[in-house]
Amino acid sequence: MTNYAIHHTCGHSVDTNLTGNCQARDNRAAWLAKQPCMACVRASEAATAAAGNQAQGLPALTGSEKQIVWAEQLRCEAMRRATAAATTQAAGQHESLRDDLEAMAARIISRQVSAKWWIDQRHGLTRVLSLLATPEDRTDLAAIVAKARAAAK
């Protein structure tokens, strides 16, 4: 294991321990030098997730700064999965069904503003909607599906 000072494209320098033979270490160091550092990659991903959540109209999260950064990414992933599910459910049906399902998912997801809650649910993001949905939401969902079925006839 050899310590390399990697000068990343973002301008940061990071000391990195690399293993392997001399050629492999040099190749890895050269590749790493062509990439932004991990801190910049994470910051970029967090900013993208936060912007996506804001564009969806989701409220700001509460918690520590580190919790919020992580939870924004989790919430963005939950919304992405909900959107994908809405697209699948609405396949071959009227486009308004997908839009209605996405709007409902955003409304349900926007209720939870605790960063800690999102982090605690990180292993069950596919269950988030069912955890947060109220009986009224389930009634609304049934009405949306019934309306789409009636429009399809």
pLDDT 10s digits, 18-53:
999 999 999 999 999 999 998 898 888 888 888 888
Q: What is the pLDDT of residue 86?
A: 81
Contact 46, 69 (CB under 8 A): yes
**Does the pLDDT of residue 74 top 90, yes or no?**
yes
The model's pTM = 0.72
Q: What is the pLDDT of residue 89?
A: 76
**Does the pLDDT of residue 106 top 80, yes or no?**
yes
The dihedral built from the CA positions of residue 96, 98, 99 and 105, taken in this order, carries a sign that is positive
**Does the pLDDT of residue 82 top 90, yes or no?**
no
pLDDT (average), residues 85-99: 77
Q: Which residue has the tokens 């050899």?
A: 2
Binned at pLDDT 50, 70 and 90, residue 57 comes out as confident
pLDDT (average), residues 89-114: 83
The dihedral built from the CA positions of residue 71, 128, 55 and 137, taken in this order, carries a sign that is negative
How far from the centroid of its chain's Cα atoms is residue 118's Cα? 11
**Does the pLDDT of residue 96 top 70, yes or no?**
yes
Q: What is the pLDDT of residue 35?
A: 93
pLDDT more than 90, % of the chain: 38
**Does the pLDDT of residue 153 top 70, yes or no?**
no
Task: State how far the Cα of 51 lies from the Cα of 124, in Å rounded to an integer.
Answer: 23
Q: What is the pLDDT of residue 30?
A: 94
